[in-house]
Amino acid sequence: MSREATAIIGPANQPGTELMPVKSGIDSNKIERMASSPLEPNSRKSMEDYMSGNQSSFDIGSAYLRNIESGKAADSYPGDSGPESIGVVTGLEGSDREQLEGLLAAARALRPKLRAEQAETEKRGTYSPEMHQAFLDAGFFRVLLPKMFGGLELGVEAFYKVITEVARGCTSSAWCLCFAAGRTLTLASYWPEKAQKEIFGEHGYLVSPLCSNPQPDVVITREERDGVRGLRISGTWKYCSGSPYSTHFMPNFTLPSDGDGEPDSYVAVLPRSSYTVLEDWGSIIGMRGSGSHGIHVEDAFVPEWHVVDTSWMASISGDTLGSRLHGNPVYGGPFIGFAEGESAAIVAGLGLAAVDEYERVISTSRAPWSDGDARRSEHPVWKEKFGTAMALVDSAVAMSARGGQLYEEFARRSVTGSEPFSAERALRLNNMYFMAENQVWEAVEMMLRSSGSRNSAQGSRLLRYFRDLLASRTVSDQFELFAVSAAEIHLGVSAESDL
């Protein structure tokens, strides 16, 4: 991307791009109004006017949850929440359990609006400002935020579950949300206390993509300004998912090592005023509304405590800066054991959405080559396909949740000194997530193929889910590469020794 690329959302100090104010907790009445009232699809108006009013105390979802329990809203938001569901909350008790139940209820309440806006989200390249405010008010950006900074600190499994529910409404929106909110765990795990206080303290939450796709124009030099050592950064990074509403940006880059070895890898954290989000997203086959725009940085200075090396990427042995600071081992795991789980959680939600749509299709269309007016849902062929799709997707949902549990347990063992969170464990978690995604692919391909030609027409939801899923499978992180790495580590062989 050249430097002449047009900005869609400029630095925060430009008119019309003010960051949303911090709101504490979810107001169930506002979420329900958001879910049921029309919005202008291309509006850039702040959600402050729409969602005005004082928020109650930090009580995520409890008011809406009480409505669910009393039966007032249970029938309004069907899905992965009824007596037939396998996606129930496990492992949490007390207020933590209530908070997660409330977060999931809020995501389900937004599902009709998310689905109604899928086409406009694709056209816009990201979800609407109003939806962003709804995500903030629901507490989605605080699931992984440490309690020290006013967060919920609910853990990885809880985060995956929330993302899956959002993805059931709109996959693109969940992608944009997830890869910006998920970096909260990254920052809280590996950055020093001073940086965390400055960065989390600026807005009370973090919305930040982490991008490892620098372009040829990137120039980074070490320098000192006013007695402060740091880096001067300029250049462009592409495919920065979650960038349109970002408060910060986390570019990944390399610098020459002090010795003769390979260049060292680093990640920095830049404030919103230091970069511009480019209007260069939306032309690929799917995930067009995922907010995966490019970002351009121009002569930004980053103090050294906002820059860390990536020694935490593949494995960790012992505690981390974050696990010590927050007294919680969830902030003590490697990045690779978490990142693909974000994709798997999104894809699991896509699978649930596709099953929802397939149920509608087979329940309202006549079975071909059958006598009378029998619907596909009454024909054994489509019953088998629907049952198979449910099993495949349910398994993916379960694998996503189980991956979150394992990440937390492996991190606990590492932090307590029991055993390291090794590269092999991280890779095997990573590859398990890929298998969950493969199962959803199998299910969605089968459902689209057997749903009739009209459901592969432009504008069809089932086709959109297929396109989004295809796009998620074309990213540079390919399973085969990780499979080879996991095998080499486990077998104790290198690529060279196999030749």
**Domain ranges in the chain?**
17-203, 210-312, 329-498
* pLDDT level of residue 86 (50, 70, 90 thresholds): low
Give pLDDT, residue 305: 98
CA–CA distance, 324 with 410 (Å, rounded to integer): 16
Give pLDDT, residue 369: 83
pLDDT at 431 over 50: yes
Tell me the per-residue pLDDT of 404-424, one tens digit each, with 9 for 90 and over.
999 999 999 999 999 999 999
Give pLDDT, residue 262: 79
Three-state secondary structure of the chain? CCCCCCEEECCCCCCCCCCCCCCCCCCHHHHHHHHHCCCCCCCCCCCCCCCCCCCCCCCCCHHHHHHHHCCCCCCCCCCCCCCCCCCCCCCCCHHHHHHHHHHHHHHHHHHHHHHHCHHHHHHHCCCCHHHHHHHHHHCHHHCCCCHHHCCCCCCHHHHHHHHHHHHHHCHHHHHHHHHHHCHHHHHHHHCCHHHHHHHHHHHCCCCCCEECCECCCCEEEEEEECCEEEEEEEEEECCCCCCCCCCEEEEEEEECCCCCCCCEEEEECEEHHHEEEECCCCCCCCCCCCCCCCEEEEEEEEEHHHEEECCCCCCECCCCHHHHHHCCHHHHCCCHHHHHHHHHHHHHHHHHHHHHHHHHHHHHCECCCCCCCCEHHHCHHHHHHHHHHHHHHHHHHHHHHHHHHHHHHHHHHHHCCCCCECHHHHHHHHHHHHHHHHHHHHHHHHHHHCCCHHHHCCCCHHHHHHHHHHHHCCCCCCHHHHHHHHHHHHHCCCCHHHC
Tell me the per-residue pLDDT of 158-217, one tens digit each, with 9 for 90 and over.
999 999 999 999 999 999 999 999 999 999 999 999 999 999 999 999 999 999 999 999
CATH superfamily of the 329-498 domain: Butyryl-CoA Dehydrogenase, subunit A, domain 3 (1.20.140.10)
Tell me the per-residue pLDDT of 203-255, one tens digit each, with 9 for 90 and over.
999 999 999 999 999 999 999 999 999 999 999 999 999 999 999 999 999 99
Tell me the per-residue pLDDT of 445-464, one tens digit each, with 9 for 90 and over.
999 999 999 999 999 999 99
Give pLDDT, residue 297: 98
Give pLDDT, residue 47: 31
pLDDT at 497 over 90: no
pLDDT at 12 over 80: no
Calculate mean pLDDT across residues 28-54. 42
Give pLDDT, residue 31: 55
pLDDT at 338 over 80: yes
Calculate mean pLDDT across residues 260-268. 88
Give pLDDT, residue 46: 35
pLDDT at 259 over 50: yes
Give pLDDT, residue 261: 73
Give pLDDT, residue 48: 33
Question: What percent of the chain is modeled with pLDDT above 90?
Answer: 74
Question: What is the CA 24 to chain-centroid distance, rounded?
Answer: 21
pLDDT at 32 over 70: no
pLDDT at 368 over 70: yes
- 17-203: what CATH class? mainly alpha
pLDDT at 65 over 60: no
What is the sign, positive or negative, of the torsion defined by CA atoms of 415, 325, 198, 223? Answer: negative
More confident residue, 79 or 481: 481
Among 58-62, 86-90, 480-484, where is mean pLDDT lowest?
58-62
Give pLDDT, residue 475: 82
* pLDDT level of residue 35 (50, 70, 90 thresholds): low
pLDDT at 26 over 60: no
Give pLDDT, residue 498: 45
Give pLDDT, residue 36: 53
* pLDDT level of residue 110 (50, 70, 90 thresholds): very high
Give pLDDT, residue 85: 63
- Architecture per CATH, domain 210-312, reads as Beta Barrel (2.40)
Give pLDDT, residue 381: 94
